[in-house]
Amino acid sequence: MKGDKLVIQEGHVEAARQLMKLLLPQIMKTQTTFTITIAGESGSGKSEIGAVLSDLFSEKDIKSIILQQDDYFVYPPKTNAEMRRKDLGHVGLPEVRLALLDQNLQDIMEGTIEIEKPLVIFEEDRIDKETITVEGIKVVIVEGTYTTKLRNVHQHIFIDRTYIDTRETRKHRAREEQDEFLEKVLQIEHNIISSHKPQADIVINNNYQVKKNDGTGK
């Protein structure tokens, strides 16, 4: 998404380094493009960890790309925010074109040379299209709130930080007005996203420590 802001902190770097150690052996054994998702609540560090992880892959001469769930929203961000204010029932998975994102991942894993995907222009509140070349890409990193629900994925990563934990981070990012209504939206998202944690393969805790998920949700 054009217009997104990253605030990379030491915790993001440390988490990415730990992920690298876990993922690299699997990546090297996989014949197809290796797909990773990084899910979590708003402000949890998905974009930041994904960006650092991509840089670490580059240091190993492993080509990677990052796909953002934010590009796959049905409506552009400001319009979507207005729809939420009219009806809180709008908040949730149907806001996102997950099936299209899953199809893009399937096409990449099947060896396509390029894909056409949506591209959100945040400041202009519109959704454009872009064609990106994926030939020679070894790793695809997909980051976004609901990406644990994607199917064409080798490893699902979940950041276990709630909207309460991330309040200060969201203030610095300043993407949305931090008001009572936003808190209601984040509570709804929390209820949805937290239920996805047991489906993840790897969990990053609130202190940015990485571990394999035992499936208990603890």
100-107: Cβ within 8 A, 24+ apart: 100/72, 101/67, 101/69, 101/72, 101/142, 101/147, 101/150, 102/150, 102/151, 102/152, 104/67, 105/35, 105/67, 105/140, 105/142, 105/150, 105/152, 105/153, 106/152
Whether 56 contacts 20, CB under 8 Å: yes
Query: CA–CA distance from 80 to each of 23, 77, 114, 122, 176 (Å)?
Result: 35, 5, 29, 11, 12
pLDDT, tens digit, 9 for 90 and up, residues 73-88: 999 999 999 999 999 9
CATH of range 10-204; options 3.40.50.80, 3.60.10.10, 3.40.50.300, 3.90.1150.10: 3.40.50.300
Phi-psi sector, 61: left (phi>0), alpha (psi -120 to 50), beta: left
pLDDT category at 2 given cuts 50, 70, 90 is low
Whether 96 contacts 73, CB under 8 Å: yes
Task: Provide the pLDDT for residue 218.
Answer: 45
pLDDT, tens digit, 9 for 90 and up, residues 52-61: 999 999 999 9
Structure tokens at 71: 């590009």
For the entire predicted model, the pTM comes to 0.92
pLDDT, tens digit, 9 for 90 and up, residues 28-49: 999 999 999 999 999 999 999 9
pLDDT, tens digit, 9 for 90 and up, residues 94-118: 999 999 999 999 999 999 999 999 9
Task: Provide the pLDDT for residue 6.
Answer: 81
